[in-house]
Amino acid sequence: AQTVTQSQPEMSVQEAETVTLSCTYDTSESDYYLFWYKQPPSRQMILVIRQEAYKQQNATENRFSVNFQKAAKSFSLKISDSQLGDAAMYFCAYRSAETSGSRLTFGEGTQLTVNP
Partner 1 sequence: EPEVTQTPSHQVTQMGQEVILRCVPISNHLYFYWYRQILGQKVEFLVSFYNNEISEKSEIFDDQFSVERPDGSNFTLKIRSTKLEDSAMYFCASSEPITHEKLFFGSGTQLSVL
Least distance between partner 1 and beta carbon 22 (Å): 15
User: 5 vs 12, which CB is nearer to partner 1?
Assistant: 5
Q: Which of 66, 93 has the CB closer to partner 1?
A: 93
Q: Which residues bind partner 1 (CB under 8 A)?
A: 33, 37, 42-47, 50, 91, 93, 95, 97, 100-109
Closest CB to partner 1 among residues 73, 95: 95
Closest by CA to 88, choosing from 29, 25, 15, 12, is 12
The answer to whether 20 touches 110, Cβ cutoff 8 Å, is no
Pairing of strands 60-61, 24-26: unpaired
